[in-house]
Amino acid sequence: MCIQNIINDSINLFYSPYCFLVIFLCFVLGSIPFGLIISYISGYGDIRKLGSGNIGATNVLRTGNKFLALLTLIADLSKGFLAIYISNLFLEDSISIELLAYLYSFIAIAVVFGHMFSPWLKFKGGKGVATSSGILIFICWPCFIMSLIIWVLFAISTKKSSIGGLLSSLSAPVFLWSLYQMNKIGLPFPIPSINLIEILTITVIVVFIWIKHNQNIKRIFKKEEPKIS
């Protein structure tokens, strides 16, 4: 699959009915700041005034309430998974299988961008690790498990969630690419099917995850990054 084919198929996708509407609705879903809402409802106020100022589960954990942190994690992760899953239920019979893969890519990027650049928060938002993890579950859950292991190992050993998130995000396209190459070889045992557009989509998301972590990266080098509570 060459880049020109990817561009042509992406353009063809926008001739499909409801395409723009679906992508827009997924962006809106991604923009819902669950961590902020959950903290407000629970009486902890504006979570952006605590710790790293982020709206994700790790910062919610700094309230001392592990249940709220878990609830935020599940909500943010579900945004990524449900955006593609629900779209699949309604649209898989409306467009071709080839174009459906491209629609998934646009949906994935839209929901993550909604989370990162929420219009409800003056186009600021979260770092995108949990939401992109939900997308990875849909694309290839074994890769999610392997990336999760990377996160756990580095987050626990360093006691810094940002390091775990950064390294696990880098591992995701590597794992996907490895499976993609294994499929091309034709090994004698079943391997999850991965296509190039999925790898490119996750890679784009990872780039923005690292951009959103720029302050964390600076604090890590200065040894000022706060630890997990």
Burial class (CB in 10 A: 0-12, 13-18, 19+), 32: middle
The model scores a pTM over 0.85: yes
Burial class (CB in 10 A: 0-12, 13-18, 19+), 157: exposed
Mean pLDDT value across the chain? 86
Contact 166, 71 (CB under 8 A): no
Average pLDDT over residues 46-57: 84
Structure confidence at residue 94 (pLDDT): 61
Query: Which is nearest to 134 in space by CA: 97, 172, 94?
Result: 172
The gap from C-alpha 87 to its chain's centroid, in whole angstroms, comes to 16
pLDDT tens by residue, 108-121: 999 999 999 999 99
Structure confidence at residue 131 (pLDDT): 96
Structure confidence at residue 30 (pLDDT): 95
Domain residue extents for the chain: 3-221
Which of 15-29, 55-69, 147-161, 201-215 bottoms out in mean pLDDT, i.e. has the lowest?
Answer: 15-29
